[in-house]
Structure 1
Amino acid sequence: MNVTKYFAVFYTEQIYFLPQFLPVAKEMKRRGLPYLIVLKGTTSRDMFDQNERIIKICEDKNLSFQLGINGLDNASIEYLICGGDEHPDVNIPYKKSVLIVHGIGTKRSAFAEEKNKFDIRFIEGDFRLRKLKELYPDAKTILENVGFSKLDDVLAMSNEEVDKMYETYGFDRCKKTLLYAPTFYPSSLERMPNNFPEQFKDYNLIIKPHFFSYIRKKYKRQRRKLDIWAKYKNVYVAGFDDFNIVPFYALADLLISDESSVVFEFAALDKPVILNRFLKLRLTYRLFGQRKLRKRMEPAMDQFRDLGENIWHYKDLKKGVEKELASPENFKQRRAECTHEIIGLVDGKVSVRMVDVLEKNHSDKTK
C-alpha cells in the first residue's frame, strides 16, 4: 500500500490561523518539504457554514489543502502543526506536535498549562519565554524563541504591491490611511458611532473586523454596523475573503484596535497604534465588573499597553489619531522595547528559523 508522506500537516481550526502558517508553508515548499493544510471546517451551531468559501480561498491561493481528516489514517506525518489554545484531540497519525500560536494575545489562555502537551512550541520574544519557564520549569516542551512568522509576508511586500492596493480600494494617495481592526470580544466596535467614517473623512479608512464578527451568528449587531460603514466612499470594509490582515499592515499609516493582538503586530513594524479602551461588555461582565474581565484577560500583558496612545472615550479618538500621525516617533522607543519582549526578532526570516528547527528535530536525521 502506498503511504503518503508529509513533513508537516497544518491543522487549521480557523481560517484566520493561516496568516501565521503560510510563511512557514512557503518555506517548506521552497525546500521541497511536502506539507498539507487540513481545514477543520464549520462544526458549531453558533457559526454560519463557511466551508465552500474557505475551499475557494485555498484554491485561489493554490494551497495544498483538504477539508477534514479523511484519508490521513495511513499517512506518514512528521509534524502536526497547530495554532489554537488547546492541543487538538484529532485522529491524525503524527510523530511530533508543534504549536505556532495564531496571535500574541492578551488573554490568559496564552499561558495555559494545556500548551505543555506540544512537543515543540515556537515563542515570540523574551517575555513569554521567561514567563513560561517560570510557570512550568519541569515542562518537557521544547521552546524555541524565533519570532512571529506572520510578519514575514508584510516585510516581503513590494512597493508595487502596495501601490496596487490603492487602486483596488479606490483610495486617495494624498490621504493617510487608517486601519481599524477590532477584535470580536471584548470589543470597541459596537461603541463606535454609525457616522464614524464621516468624522474621519480626511483619511482612507480600512475596517478589518475579526473573523468571528462575520461567522458567529450572535454578532449580528456588529455586522449591521459594518454594513453602515461600508456605504462611505472613504471606507473599505474587509469581508470574509480578506482573512489575512497582513496586506493592510503594509498599506496603513496607523492602526486603531482594542483587545486584539494586532496592536503588537502592527507596532512591531514601527508604526503608531491607538488602543481603544472603551469596550462593549456583555451583561454578565457589567454585573460582575472588572473581576470577571480579569479572569479572561492576562494581567501580565498590561505592562505592554503603553506602546501607543490609550483612548478611554470615543470623543478623544480623532485627536489621538491626529497627534500620533503628526508625531509618529512619540512611542517609538516603547514600541521597540515591547517588540523585543513579545514579538521577537522582526527580520522577515522567522519562517526560515522555524523550518530550520523542524529539520533539526526531524526523527529521520539521515534524510
Structure 2
Amino acid sequence: MKKILFDLKKQYYFNSLYPLYKVMKQDPRYDLWIRSGKDQHRFLGVFMISNRGKIQSELRSRGFQVTDRTSGFDGVVCGDALKKPEKYGDVPKFHLDHGVGIKTLRIRNIVRQKNARYHVFLEGQYWYDYIKSLGYENTAEFHVTGLPKLDPFFQPGHFDNPSLVSRLGLDPGKKTVLFAPSYKPSCIDHIGDSILELLPQYNLVVKLHPYSWGGKYAPHSQHRLYQELAGNHREMFLVPADEYDVYPYLFLADTLISDTSSVVNEFLALGKHGIIYQLPKSNPRHSDGMPVLSIDPEDWLKGAFPHISRPDQLQSAVELALSPSSGMKQKMEEYRNYFFTELDGKASERVKHCIDSVLLGDK
C-alpha cells in the first residue's frame, strides 16, 4: 500500500485537491493522509494567529486522517509548490494548482525550486504554451490532463441551485450577478459601493477572496466595506468568511464581475460570459522580473467577456454579458477550447492514472 500525503498549505486549497482525493480513496492500494499549514490571520493588526489546530479538528471531524509529518510518504499531492520541499524527502511530488487563472505565481514557485521536481497537471494547452514560451518546459513533468478542481462543475447533481437560492433568500425570478474580486491587485478600491447600483434589478452575491478576510495579505477594510453594505442592504448577500468555496456561487450565477482573479477562467469553463474590471495599467512584475500576469488584462478573453474600467459601466456590461452576441459566443468557445481540455468531470481519473503509473507502474 502506498502512503500519500495531501499537503494543504491553505484551507481554501482543499477544493483543488479533494476531487482527486475522492477518486484515490476508492483504490485500496493507497493510504491517504492530510497535512494542514498554519493558514494564519492577522489579529489586532499585529499578531499572526495560526489556524492549523482549527483546520485539523474540522478535517478529523469529517473522517480524514490528519498528520503533522512531512516525511515517510511515498508521494505528495499539493495545491502549490511546497514551502520546503526537502522536508518531504526524495519522493514524487504531484502539483494541482489551486487556481486556474493568469497569475504566473503557479509556475514561478516551481521554477525557483531548483532541487525539486514536480509532476504538474495543467487545465489546458494555454498554460503549457506559455510555460514553453518562457523556456521552462523541462523544469517539471507537465501533463495536460485538465484539473480535478473543475470536475464538480461537470458532474450532474453536484450543485443544487434551487436550494442555494432558497438559502440565500434570492428572488428566483431575477438574474444573479456574482461579484468576486481578487485581493491583490483588486478592483475593490475602484468599484467600492457602486456595486449596489445593480440593485434591485438583479440578485447580488458578493464573494470575497479568503485573503480579503485575514488581514495578512490584504487590509481588513476590504471585508468591512461589504459587511457594512450587506448589513444595510438585505438584497445583497455577502458570503461568510468561513465559506471559502466559490464554486457553488459560480455555478449559480448568470454573470460574474471580477478583475485578475482565477474565477474569471473558471467562469469561462462553465461556458458563461463574465465581466472583467480592467485595473489601471501597471505591468506588475515579481522581484525576479517575471510578469505577475501571463496575459495583458486588455487582451484577456477580449471579445468574449465585456471589459470595463469605470463603475458607471457596470449596468451596461451586465446587460451585454447576459445577452451576448453570436460573435461573443463564438469567441468564448475558442478561448474555452484553448484554456481547457476535456471538461468532462473526469480530470481526477486522468490525474490518478498518471500517479498510478509513477507510483505503481500501471500503464
Q: Same fold (TM over 0.5)?
A: yes
- 1:174 Cα deviation from its structure 2 partner: 0.5
Q: Is the 8 A contact 2:176 2:253 kept in 1?
A: yes
Q: Are residues 1:8 and 2:9 paired?
A: no
Instruction: Compute the TM-score of the two structures, normalised by the length of structure 1.
Output: 0.84
1:297 and 2:298 equivalent?
A: no
Q: What is the match of residue 85 of structure 2?
A: 89
2:171 maps to: 172
C-alpha distance in 2, partners of 1:254/1:14? Answer: 28
* Displacement after TM superposition at 1:214 (Å): 0.7
Distance 1:65 1:190 in 2: 41
- Residue correspondence of structure 1 range 212-223 to structure 2 within 5 A: 212-217=211-216, 218-223=218-223
What amino acid sits opposite 2:228 in the alignment? Answer: I
Distance in structure 2 (CA, Å) of the matches to 1:9 and 1:156: 26
* Aligned mate of 1:108, from 104, 111, 114: 104
Shift of 1:157: 4.9
Letter in 1 for 2:219: Y
Distance change in 2, residues 1:34/1:213 (3 Å): same
Question: Compared with structure 1, are the counterparts of its residues 121 and 317 closer, same or farther at alpha carbon in structure 2 (3 Å cutoff)?
Answer: same
> Which deviates the most, 244-253 or 28-37?
28-37
Q: Deviations over 1:31-74 (max 9, x none)?
A: 333222211123576755434553455356x25243x624x54x
**Residue aligning to 1:225:** 225
Q: Say whether the 8 Å CA contact 1:265–1:343 is kept in structure 2.
A: no
Of residues 35, 44, 48 in structure 2, which corresponds to 1:38? Answer: 35
Amino acid at match of 2:181: P
Structure 1 residues 277, 301: CA separation in 2 closer, same or farther (over 3 Å shift)?
A: closer
Partner of 2:119: 120
Aligned-partner SS, 2:18: helix
Q: How does 1:125-164 map to 2 (within 5 A)?
A: 125-136=124-135, 139=138, 141-158=140-157, 161-164=160-163
Deviation of residue 335 (structure 1)? 2.0
Cα contact 2:258–2:276 (8 A) shared by 1: yes
Structure 2: how far apart are the matches of 1:188 and 1:201?
A: 22
Distance 1:160 1:299 in 2: 31
Contact 1:86/1:115 (8 A) holds in 2? no
Q: CA deviation at 1:129?
A: 1.5
Provide closer, same or farther for how the CA distance between residues 21 and 133 of structure 1 changes in structure 2, counting only shifts above 3 A.
same
Structure 2: runs of 5 or more not aligned: none
1:190 matched residue in structure 2: 189
Q: Retained in 2: the 8 A contact 1:272–1:328? A: no
Amino acid corresponding to residue 272 of structure 2 in structure 1:
K
1:322 Cα deviation after fit: 1.3
- Specify which of 318, 334, 337 is matched with residue 334 of structure 2: 337
Query: Which secondary structure state, in structure 2, belongs to the residue aligned with residue 103 of structure 1?
Result: coil
| Residue 235 (structure 1) aligned with residue 230 (structure 2) | no
* Stretch of structure 1 that moved more, 138-147 or 156-165: 156-165
Q: 1:178/1:328 Cα in 2 relative to 1: closer, same or farther (>3 Å)?
A: farther
User: 2:92 is matched by which residue type in structure 1?
Assistant: K
Report the more deviating stretch, 140-149 or 300-309: 300-309
In structure 2, relative to structure 1, the CA distance for the partners of 1:120 and 1:225 (3 Å cut) is same
Using the TM superposition, name which of 162-171 and 257-266 deviates more: 162-171
The answer (yes or no) to whether the contact 2:176–2:202 under 8 Å persists in 1 is yes
Alignment root-mean-square deviation, CA: 2.8
Say which is worse superposed, 108-117 or 200-209, in terms of deviation: 108-117
8 Å CA contact 1:37, 1:64 repeated in 2: yes
Structure with the higher fraction of residues in helix conformation? 1
Over 3 Å counting, the alpha-carbon distance change for 1:195 and 1:274 in structure 2 is closer
1:233 and 1:265 map into 2 onto residues whose CA distance is 28
SS in 1 for 2:349: helix
1:206 aligns with 2:205: yes
CA offsets per residue over residues 200-246 of structure 1, 9 Å max, x none? 22211121111100112451110211212322222221122211111
Shift, 1:352, TM fit: 0.8
Note the C-alpha offset of 1:333: 2.0
Show structure 1 runs of 5+ residues with no match. Answer: 280-288
1:98 maps to which of 94, 100, 109: 94
SS at match of 2:251: helix
How far the C-alpha of 1:188 sits from its partner, in A, is: 0.7
Structure 1 position 354 matched with structure 2 position 351: yes
Say whether residues 1:268 and 2:269 are aligned partners. yes
Contact 1:154–1:249, Cα closer than 8 Å, also in 2: no
Answer with 166-175 or 223-232: which moved more.
223-232
Asked whether the 8 Å contact 2:8–2:79 carries over to 1, the reply is: yes
3-state SS of the aligned residue for 1:10?
Answer: strand
2:318 partner SS: helix
Q: d(CA) in 2 for partners of 1:123 and 1:159?
A: 23
For 1:318 and 1:301, the matched residues in 2 are separated by: 24
TM normalised by structure 2 equals: 0.85
